[in-house]
Amino acid sequence: MQVVHFFMKHALKPTQYAILAAVMLTASVGDTLLSRGMTQVGPVDLHHLPLLLHALANPYIVSGIVLLIGFFASYMTALSWADLTFVMPATALNNVVVALLSRFWLHEHLSLSRWAGILLIVCAVGFVAGGPSRTEHPSEHHELDVMDSGAGR
């Protein structure tokens, strides 16, 4: 019974998987747009910092920033019910998405070491996804108990 309870508590809901997918996709597409925009803006050095503000007029940078705000919102939602070390490998998958996009959409060549990199990150996600999503701290339960008893009085 205890075991069933443990797994029920840590199983993710479909909406929570959707949030993790959003974390992965918004970050990868947003980063791609940003890097494309920055190559158009050109190099920025310490003596020309106002150029960074000029970058805000670039449509690629603006859409990249919008997507990264979406990333931020879904990332924080994920952190509200999962550990940082659980969400991290999920965000690492965005590197894999970028690599696969460049292979199958932009038809770039993927070297053997890149395929190895993809495999390692996918394995990492598999490891972590198999474990609990949240570390339970006894102190938190204690606080809740105290709060409950307070409410009951």
Partner 1 sequence: MISAVAATLVPAHVFREWSCILVVAALAISGECLIAAAMRRLGDLDDLRTQPGLRGYLGPVRAVLSNPLFLIGALFMALNFFAMLFTLSIVELSLAIPAIASLTYIGNAAAAKFFLHENVDRRRWTAVLFVAVGVVLLAK
Interface positions with partner 1 (CB under 8 A): 35, 38, 43-46, 49, 52, 55, 72, 76-77, 79-81, 83-86, 88-89, 92, 95-96, 99, 111, 113-114, 116-121, 123-125, 127-128, 130-132, 135, 137
Task: Give the CA dihedral 22, 28, 31, 37, nearest 10 degrees.
Answer: -110
CB of 78 to partner 1, least distance (A): 8
Residue closer to partner 1 by CB (options 24, 128) is: 128
Residue closer to partner 1 by CB (options 35, 148) is: 35
Non-local CB neighbours of 35 within 8 Å, separated by 6+ positions: none
Q: Take residue 119 and report the two structure tokens written for it.
A: 């495999």
Q: Take residue 35 and report the two structure tokens written for it.
A: 């890097």
Evaluate whether 21 touches 74 at the Cβ level (below 8 Å).
no
CB of 1 to partner 1, least distance (A): 23
